[in-house]
Amino acid sequence: MKAMILCGLLFCIFLPPAQASQTIVLSTIQRLPISTDLQTGLADRIATEAFRRIGIQAVIKKIPARRALRDANAGLHDGDLARIAGVTHTYPNLLPVPEITWVAEIVAFSKNRQLTTPDWSSLETHRLSYIRGWVVFENNLPDTPMIDKVVSPEALFKMLKMNRADLALYEKKMGYGLLRQQQITNIHALQPALTIEPIYIYLHRKHESLIPRLANAIRAMKQDGSYQAILEDCLGEVLNPASLQDYIRLQQSYDNVRLQKTSPQ
């Protein structure tokens, strides 16, 4: 009996990492329908299922935008749930998992749905607001008195409601999620999108060995239909059927492009 117990203990000790009870903590700034406090958002479910397939538990933790990247780069967290390509240039310890998890549509929200936003320069004459720490805005907008930086999506849309901004810059699907939560009907996403950005999971380089396995797990989810089921379930909460199909086609087009490119360093 003692010999059996000893063998069992040795078996547990020498389990490979993919089978051990390893936990990965990912920070995120995302909101409904991409991430929720219960980890039921699109990016939450994709990440937790992909990690589960390689034998690891993923925990998602909400962190303010700039601190999330800084802390993950310092190794205080294991990585970031959802970021655009190029983060490694500024945060060298964060490495992308080279498989798109979803596609962000960066748009301007406004009370005036007649406005159009064909490019970044079309914003120059408007009072703007965006969430502090979002790299995509800090890289594309000048720092002028016409811009107010806020700390949360709620504050972002409050600027519009109080007429303190003409345009609020945010991700389209998350904007729709917040508008639905707050039952706001007079604020609209303008077209076209200012930019469309494929989104990736980033891991601290101490977990570099997990990256190819995690990428393969996400690809397998796309091939076996589980990814599509998660996408339709989560985005169906905020997009009507026609908009959902438009997004699916957009996602697929970026997946096809990714197959022809290398890692999004």
| Domains with residue ranges and CATH for the chain | 16-103+198-258 (3.40.190.10), 104-195 (3.40.190.10)
Residue 18: CA count within 13 A, CB half-sphere: 10
Closest of 105, 101, 126 to residue 26, by C-alpha: 101
Closest of 68, 107, 64 to residue 194, by C-alpha: 107
- Phi, psi at 47, each rounded to 5°: -65, -50
pLDDT of residue 66: 73
pLDDT of residue 262: 54
- The end-to-end CA distance of the chain, in Å, is 54
**Contact (CB, 8 A) for 187 and 28:** no
pLDDT of residue 240: 93
Tokens of 210: 């997990």
Residue spans of the chain under pLDDT 70: 1-21, 259-265
How much is the pTM? 0.87
